[in-house]
Amino acid sequence: MNLFRAIGLTLLVLLATLSSSGASEADLRGIIAKFATAKGFSETGAVVHELAATGDPAVERPLAALADGNLYIRKADSLVFVGKETGDGVELLDPLSGEKSADAAKDDITKIKVNNTLRRVIRDALGTLTLGAKDPAVRIAAADTMFKTPDAANIEPLDTAIANETLASVKALLEQARAASVLVSDRPDADKLAAIALIGARGDRDAVSLLTSVEANAPDAVREAATAAIRNINSTLAFWDAGQNIWYGISLGSVLLLAAIGLAITFGVMGVINMAHGEMVMLGAYTTFVVQQVIRTSFPGLFDWSLVIALPLAFLVAALVGLAIERGVIRFLYGRPLETLLATWGVSLILQQAVRSIFGPTNQEVGNPSWMSGSFNVGQLAITWNRLWILVFALSVFAVLLYVMKRTPWGLQMRAVTANRRMAASMGIRTPWVDALTFALGSGIAGIAGVALSQIDNVSPNLGRGYIIDSFMVVVFGGVGNLWGTLVGAFSLGIVNKFLEPYAGAVLGKIVVLVLIILFIQKRPRGLFALKGRAVEA
């Protein structure tokens, strides 16, 4: 790393004295040709520095291609090309103009290897080159890179960029990047103190990281300022940490809620100990996989909609399987909980093995649509999009379910059958069909939970296993037969879990939560919200 930097700096100085106005195209091509003879990562790194030192924006294309592993050497004539993979071969593009120059088979070309160190060198080099880019997002990325890898040589280009910058938000980032570079330069202490104030105001982990490295070897005045700034930032961050734990807890809670909500119906409302519940979730996830597979091969443009398309299908698949289980097995076992438990357990094994036989035992890839990838910041809190969408989704499923149960005739019949089966039957409700449809509804909801969980977990035949214990825990803790109990139970378990985890570790945290629940159940055997009425005695 230091070696790269040293080489880069000397070259920079050399070239700056030779020509101040960037290099000619022929020069650039000459440097790019050196990739073909460079051996090992350090020599390739030297070529990267040489290219970057020209300061010519045209080198962005070959460097970016190199970082992505798309720069190739043609074996026949040792020419360097940017490659674009087509079906069976590679399309070779000119490294500077980007125009197509030839096609090649994969065996005729060699890829120029990159590793993490080299990628970082390229990223730093591109940072300086893209400071003047048109797209503000690129400028922000450049400023960010330069902040993380400060270098005294960056001050001048940053000064120019700051002078030309029109957007206030980008300008602030550029100034922070400049401050970072000042800190590692040999500028006077007064400049450095101002820089520390600026970085201290940024207040995130990167700032702490930078200040900590400065703190180690700086004159007294600067060190004290850095220490004070770090202390300041850390105290604010401690506050954000608590917020982060709550968010993680809510997010875990939403996953628990999704997994448990179907069970809240089959176990909570109907009283069926359904060990095959997890497999309904798995079926939903596999439906998503199949939908994505079809979309990938036939309608690639619809990929971002794949989850939306998968939702009704997953509901249908899981609901139909649920219906079949209820009609085929469970209806003969009402009132015999132990046998139901064993029978549904057997069903779950059959379903797992069936999926294993059809799709194979390995994980299947379910992609994230673009709107579910990445994260955004609220203050110092990083919120990932997929977690946020899952939370929104869990709450909407809950709301819909609540509406169905409380406001539709079907929901009324369901509650009537649960409350008093014989009375309901006497009123003309066909209780066997209500049972079957209720079970199908619970299973279907587990299926759509599978669509969401396929985004954060493995899609494998074992998917359901991981959720079954947690789901029962949530339903029992929240109060059997009460949807609101499931909601509160899921979120409180999630938050307690996430507050314990940083202190106790994930393993111990889980044990502590389990012990707490056991103690709680001793005190309140019917959970948080006990259902009142005859159902309890039945």
Partner 1 sequence: MRGNFSTITKMFSASVVAAGLLMSVPARAADDTIKVGILHSLSGTMAISETTLKDAMLMLIDEQNAKGGLLGKKLEAVVVDPASNWPLFAEKARELISKDKVAAVFGCWTSVSRKSVLPVFSELDNILFYPVQYEGEESERNVFYTGAAPNQQAIPAVDYLMSEDGGSVKRWVLEGTDYVYPRTTNKILEAYLKAKGVAAEDIMVNYTPFGFSDWQTEVSAIKKFGSAGKKTAVVSTVNGDANVPFYKELGNQGIKAEDIPVMAFSVGEEELAGLDTAPLVGHLAAWNYFESVDTPENKKFIADWHKFIKNDKRTTNDPMEAHYIGFNMWVKAVEKAGTTDPDKVIDAMIGVSVPNLTGGYSTMMPNHHITKPVLIGEIQADGQFETVSRTPGLVMGDEWSDYLPDSKDLISDWRAPLSCGNFNVATGKCGGKGTN
Residues 218-257 interacting with partner 1 (rule: CB under 8 A): 244-245, 248, 251-252, 255
**By CB under 8 A, is residue 262 in contact with partner 1?**
no
Residue 334, φ and ψ in degrees, nearest 5: -60, 135
Q: Least distance in Å: CB of 387 to partner 1?
A: 7
**Shorter beta-carbon distance to partner 1: residue 54 or 145:** 145
Stretch that binds partner 1, among 213-221, 303-311, 324-332, 432-440 (CB under 8 A): 213-221
**Shorter beta-carbon distance to partner 1: residue 54 or 352:** 352
Rounded distance, CA 216 to CA 459, Å?
A: 47
Binding mask 26-65 for partner 1 (x = CB under 8 A): ---------------xx-----------------------
Q: Least distance in Å: CB of 306 to partner 1?
A: 13
Q: Rounded to an integer, what is the distance from CA 332 to the centroid of its chain?
A: 44
Stretch that binds partner 1, among 94-102, 278-286, 406-414, 465-473 (CB under 8 A): 465-473
Question: Which pairing describes strands 381-384 and 100-105: parallel, antiparallel, or unpaired?
Answer: unpaired
**By CB under 8 A, is residue 472 in contact with partner 1?**
yes
Token pair of 399 as six digits: 């709301």
Strands (DSSP E) contained in 270-327 are: none
- Give the type of residue at 50: E
Taking only Cα atoms into account, the Rg of the chain, rounded to an integer number of angstroms, comes to 31
Stretch that binds partner 1, among 55-63, 128-136, 315-323, 344-352 (CB under 8 A): 344-352
DSSP-derived letter for residue 459 is B
Rounded distance, CA 104 to CA 79, Å?
A: 12
Stretch that binds partner 1, among 135-143, 260-268, 318-326, 374-382 (CB under 8 A): 374-382
Stretch that binds partner 1, among 56-64, 263-271, 297-305, 363-371 (CB under 8 A): 363-371
Matching residue, tokens 């899952």? 390
Which of 210, 263, 397, 451 contacts partner 1 by CB under 8 A? 210
Which of 182, 183, 195, 211 contacts partner 1 by CB under 8 A? 211
The full DSSP string for 205-260 is HHHHHHHHHHHHT--HHHHHHHHHHHHHHHHHHHHHHHHHHHHHHHHHHHHHHHHH
Q: Least distance in Å: CB of 375 to partner 1?
A: 6
Buried b / exposed e across 122-148, counting CB within 10 Å, b at 16+?
bbbbbbbbbbebeeeebbbbbbbbbbb
Q: Least distance in Å: CB of 372 to partner 1?
A: 9
Q: Which of residues 105-124 bind partner 1 (CB under 8 A)?
A: 113, 115-117, 119-120, 123
**By CB under 8 A, is residue 370 in contact with partner 1?**
no
Q: How many residues bind partner 1 (CB under 8 A)?
A: 76
Other C-beta atoms closer than 10 Å to the C-beta of 256 total 24
**Shorter beta-carbon distance to partner 1: residue 95 or 249:** 249
**By CB under 8 A, is residue 3 in contact with partner 1?**
yes
DSSP-derived letter for residue 131 is G
Rounded distance, CA 387 to CA 393, Å?
A: 10
**Shorter beta-carbon distance to partner 1: residue 121 or 155:** 121
Q: Least distance in Å: CB of 26 to partner 1?
A: 32
Q: Tell me which residue of 470, 487, 467 sits closest to 478, measured CA to CA.
A: 487
Q: Least distance in Å: CB of 166 to partner 1?
A: 27
The CA-based dihedral angle spanning residues 30, 32, 34, 37, taken in that order and rounded to the nearest 10 degrees: -140
**Shorter beta-carbon distance to partner 1: residue 198 or 214:** 214
Q: Which of residues 136-195 bind partner 1 (CB under 8 A)?
A: 148
Return all residues near 389 (Cβ < 8 A) that are at least 6 apart: 371, 372, 452
**Shorter beta-carbon distance to partner 1: residue 30 or 360:** 360
Q: Which of residues 477-536 bind partner 1 (CB under 8 A)?
A: 498, 501-502, 505-507, 510, 514
Q: Tell me which residue of 223, 233, 165, 151 sits closest to 199, measured CA to CA.
A: 233
